[in-house]
A and B are shown apart, each in its own frame.
Chain A
Amino acid sequence: MSEKSHIVKSYEEQLQLLKDTIVKMGASVEKQLEQTIQSLVKKDTSLADKSIKDDEKTDKYELHIEEQVVNLIALRQPMAIDLRETVVALKVSSDLERIGDLAKNISKRTLKVGTDLPSDIIKNLEIAGLKAAKQVNSVLNAYLHRAKDTAENVWNSDEEIDQLTNTNMEAAIKHLEKKKEDINKITQLLFMLKNIERIGDHATNIAEQVYFLITGDYLEGERPKG
């Protein structure tokens, strides 16, 4: 980040507003995720309802960011760090929007299956969900504080979620073998697990963008996969 301000103050303000909007959108997505996970843990469907409802806010943020980005490109023709700031905002907002959607989808499935899933399965979901939420939180911090190392850590630790997803899916299938009547619940559960894994992937995408924003380079090499 350049410490100097733009000569044109309104340009500086527009870029700052863009960053602020990303941070707010991130907070909105984090809240959705929190509600989604807690609704399972606390067996409280009203939290799932809230998460679904809050997705509208997240979507509005995305639209707002897109408008700002198009305006910046059309009216300011940003260069170098400003160009990266602008392009990265567009991509990050799109990943955040997907995370919001996935949280909403988990909540919808929670409403379908009810909260009376077996406790060991709920526990697995909670662990994976919290891990994904932690990744989202870390990557948003990396964006806010321009922390390259944090972004790299997020990128490197996604495989833990992948491994957890595999283990949880196996456990769910084992459960199904014993209790065939749970087929509906377990099918929903598999999608929920997959959604959590996808949330981790989107956090990884954002980590790549944050790294590019800070360095101008791309994170290279094959990402570790579980």
Chain B
Amino acid sequence: MTKISAKNVNVFYGSKQALFDVSLDIMDKEVTALIGPSGCGKSTFLRCLNRMNDVIDICKVEGSIKMDELELNSRKLDVVRLRENVGMVFQKPNPFPKTIYENVSYGPTIHGMAQSKSELDQIVEMSLKKAALWEEVKDRLDEIGTGLSGGQQQRLCIARAISVSPEVILMDEPCSALDPIATAQIEELIDDLKKEHTIVIVTHSMSQAARVSQKTGFFHLGKLIEFGDTEKIFKNPDNQQTQDYITGRFG
């Protein structure tokens, strides 16, 4: 089932066009990986999915991006509600300079999702468990989040993202600042999270895209060159440019 359907998306930064006629369907409860060289537009596309481009004044997005029946590119869209439903995890772990507990409870609190302290406690515990961090932090929830290791901080950010039960989670290079063990833990987590969430991940690691995703899209110079089953893309892509990129023959 399609969760997000992008049709003829064009993005401009001032007079510079960053995306050209991108159309692709993101399937529900699957992991979709976006790959391509730096500046190819993959992160720009990702940011269209939760209207992060709104914060850039000169950025203009054309075309249609529908999540279920909701047009994400509509002026009338409630962007705060959208971001409650489409969470995001960034390249560099960016926990709030607050306690571990507060990092996770912040979203549910401002969205009024908990009626009582015990309900909030439950949400925090469940989110940390889902983010595979609970066992490591349950005895020090009142410690500052930024004091954790890089991998733990990233899992804390994932816990924060899932605390408001978003249907979609966007990940922009979530492992690029992490060591191989922390990376493996995040990848295991992604596998787990896709049971309940739709995940779109931008990664520079081809092997990571191959490991975690079911669908892969290859972007180059603002165009979506090829999109399809991950297995097919990495075993026998249709497009020569895709093959050159994934085999390291680019440039």
Chain B residues, CB < 8 A from A81: 243, 247
Q: Using a Cβ cutoff of 8 Å, how many contacts connect chains A and B?
A: 42
| Contact B248–A8 (Cβ < 8 Å) | yes
- Contact of A80 with B236 at beta-carbon distance under 8 Å, contacts A5-B249, A7-B248 already known: yes
| Contact B206–A79 (Cβ < 8 Å) | yes
Task: Please tell me which one of the listed residues B235, B240, B248, B250 contacts residue A83 in the complex, with CB atoms under 8 A apart.
Answer: B235
Give the secondary structure class of B's interface: helix
Shortest Cβ distance from residue A74 to the other chain B in the assembled complex, whole angstroms: 13
| Contact B247–A77 (Cβ < 8 Å) | no
**Interface hits, A44-68 → B, CB 8 Å:** none
Shortest Cβ distance from residue A195 to the other chain B in the assembled complex, whole angstroms: 35
Check: B48 CB closer than 8 A to any chain A CB.
no
Shortest Cβ distance from residue B72 to the other chain A in the assembled complex, whole angstroms: 33
Check: B251 CB closer than 8 A to any chain A CB.
yes
Chain B residues, CB < 8 A from A4: 244, 249
Shortest Cβ distance from residue A188 to the other chain B in the assembled complex, whole angstroms: 46
Q: How far is the CA of A215 from the CA of B206 in the complex (A)?
A: 22
Task: Please indicate which of the listed interface residues A4, A7, A8 has the most CB atoms of chain B within 10 Å of its own CB.
Answer: A4
Shortest Cβ distance from residue A130 to the other chain B in the assembled complex, whole angstroms: 36
| Contact B248–A216 (Cβ < 8 Å) | no
Binary contact readout A77-92 vs B (1 if CB under 8 angstroms, 0 otherwise): 1111111100000000
| Contact A11–B248 (Cβ < 8 Å) | yes
| Contact A2–B235 (Cβ < 8 Å) | no
Chain A residues, CB < 8 A from B166: none
Chain B residues, CB < 8 A from A8: 248
| Contact B250–A80 (Cβ < 8 Å) | no
Nearest A-chain residue to B242, judged by Cβ = A80
Check: B228 CB closer than 8 A to any chain A CB.
no
| Contact A79–B236 (Cβ < 8 Å) | no
Task: Please tell me which one of the listed residues A7, A77, A83, A217 contacts residue B249 in the complex, with CB atoms under 8 A apart.
Answer: A7
Task: Please indicate which of the listed interface residues B236, B249, B250, B251 has the most CB atoms of chain A within 10 Å of its own CB.
Answer: B249
Q: How far is the CA of A77 from the CA of B200 in the complex (A)?
A: 24
Binary contact readout B160-199 vs A (1 if CB under 8 angstroms, 0 otherwise): 0000000000000000000000000000000000000000
Q: How far is the CA of A150 from the CA of B248 in the complex (A)?
A: 29
**Interface hits, A168-224 → B, CB 8 Å:** 215-217
Task: Please tell me which one of the listed residues A11, A80, A217 contacts residue B246 in the complex, with CB atoms under 8 A apart.
Answer: A80
Chain A residues, CB < 8 A from B118: none
**Interface hits, B57-103 → A, CB 8 Å:** none
Q: How far is the CA of A83 from the CA of B237 in the complex (A)?
A: 12
Check: A145 CB closer than 8 A to any chain B CB.
no
Check: B115 CB closer than 8 A to any chain A CB.
no
**Interface hits, A1-35 → B, CB 8 Å:** 2, 4-8, 11
Q: Which residues of A contact B (CB under 8 A)?
A: 2, 4-8, 11, 77-84, 215-217
Taking A79-B247, A80-B246 as known contacts, 9 extra A-B pairs with beta carbons closer than 8 A to each other, sorted by chain A number, are A4-B249, A6-B247, A6-B249, A8-B248, A79-B210, A79-B234, A84-B235, A84-B236, A217-B236
